Structure 1
Amino acid sequence: MQVLVRDNNVDQALRVLKKKMQREGVFREMKARRAYEKPSERRNREEAEAVRRARKAARKQAIRDGLIAGPKKKPAPARHAPRPGQSAPFASTDAAK
């Protein structure tokens, strides 16, 4: 794995490296290798992960097909009213007509 350091900015390079390692699953693997995992526990964990992935994929497909409602969208931030004496931005005027 390689990360370029630009303008001696080591902090940014470290952030990029951590993000790459997270995406590759290095941290998850390090945590898993801290202690021995019995083969039966490994099978159970992998099966549970597969079930979780399948449920997530089915849920996403059902949302795409419109069978279930998706997550609620956040409302757009409210716009402030213009100050007294100022016209609203983009307001139509009689002169423009």
Structure 2
Amino acid sequence: MQVLVRDNNVDQALRALKKKMQREGIFREMKMRRNYEKPSERRAREKAEAVRRHRKLLRKRMEREGY
């Protein structure tokens, strides 16, 4: 991952880097890897995330269709 530093403005480059990392999900990944997650817990979490994504998609569709 690269961020260009323009005019020696490190603060702006640091903000850009943090924003890129946030978008990529790196912070969430680091937080999750801090502690061991049992395989059964991982499956349950991934299933719950999939359900949330699906419900969000359905909400968006319904909103677009005017319900």
With the shorter chain as reference, the TM-score category is over 0.9
Which residue of the partner structure matches residue 54 of structure 1?
A: 54
TM-score, with normalisation over the residues of structure 2? 0.99
C-alpha distance in 2, partners of 1:33/1:53? 22
Query: 2:12: which partner in 1?
Result: 12
Task: Give the RMSD, CA atoms, in angstroms.
Answer: 0.3
Unaligned ranges ≥5, structure 1? 68-97
2:12 maps to 1:25: no
Distance in 2 (CA, whole Å) between partners of 1:33 and 1:63 is 36
Tell me the TM-score normalised to structure 1 length.
0.69
Between Structure 1 and Structure 2, the one with more helix by share is 2
**Which residue identity lines up with residue 25 of structure 1 in the other structure?**
G
Identity of aligned residues (%): 79
Count how many residue pairs are aligned between Structure 1 and Structure 2: 67
Pick 1 or 2: higher relative contact order, CA cutoff 8 A, min separation 6: 2
